[in-house]
Amino acid sequence: MPLIRETIVTTLAADGTPHLAPLGLIAGDESGGRWIAAPFHPSTTLANLRAVPELVANYVDDVRIFAGCLTGRRDFPLLAADHVRPPRLAAALAHAELRVVAIEADEARPRFHCETVFEASHAPFRGFNRAQAAVIEAAILVSRRHLLPPATIAEEMRRLRVAVDKTAGPREAAAWAWLVAALASPVG
Ligand SMILES: Cc1cc2nc3c(=O)[nH]c(=O)nc-3n(C[C@H](O)[C@H](O)[C@H](O)COP(=O)(O)O)c2cc1C
């Protein structure tokens, strides 16, 4: 299995509207310069990559951005990138600017092979946090809730909650609460 990094990807629509979405970028080589984005059909990220074949991979530790994108909160400050048209997140600890160099066609989940054209660091990485990992797992459950049995989601959330209760700071607690509220509402 290749390495996958859970990032917030920023893309741009043909009309210039930026879009944020959590996306697992698949390592395309060992140097770390090539990544594969595999957005499902249909999605805004997929439509945007077809229109503007560039993206920014934002490496963030503020997990409210993962939870926010899945619960209708996408109002996170953006800044211009250096070499590509999609913007980067102001909150990114680091970011990579990528250009699509090849597309592997697939009806359900095409693969956009990308090359890194620029990278920059903005703030220190301050170590792992179990609540952050739990929020990312819970965000994945929310994004797949139309596919998963409710009992499976409830059991996973019960297990993940332990790390949140023990290790969350205010950001992690807020992100967790947004996801719990989303799961309590009817499937959209
Ligand atoms: C950690 C994480 C990783 C994800 N990775 C992917 C992915 O690789 N491909 C994908 O299509 N959706 C992925 N998702 C789900 C999308 O973020 C979500 O469905 C989103 O709404 C994409 O649709 P959009 O581009 O229309 O916003 C991921 C979600 C999370 C929380």
Task: Check: CB of residue 81 under 8 Å from CB of residue 117.
Answer: no
Please give the number of the atom of ligand 1 that sits closest to the Cα of 6. 1
For residue 176, the surrounding DSSP H or E stretch is helix 170-184
Domain spans in the chain, listed from the N-terminal domain onward: 4-121, 130-184
Classify residue 89 by its DSSP letter: E
Domain 4-121 in CATH 2.30.110.10? The answer is yes
Q: Which residues have CB under 8 Å from 36's CB, separation 6+? A: 25, 26, 27, 28, 111, 112, 113, 114
Model pLDDT, residue 130: 98
pLDDT tens per residue across all 188 residues of the chain:
899 999 999 999 999 999 999 999 999 988 889 999 999 999 999 999 999 999 999 999 999 999 999 999 999 999 999 999 999 999 999 999 999 999 999 999 999 999 999 999 999 999 999 999 999 999 999 999 999 999 999 999 999 999 999 999 999 999 999 999 999 998 86
Please give the backbone phi and psi of residue 141, each rounded to the nearest 5 degrees, phi first: -60, -45
In this structure, the residues whose C-beta lies within 6 A of any atom of ligand 1 are 6, 21-24, 38-40, 43-45, 66, 136, 139-140, 143
Give the distance (Å) from ligand 1 centre to CA of residue 51.
Answer: 18
Model pLDDT, residue 32: 86
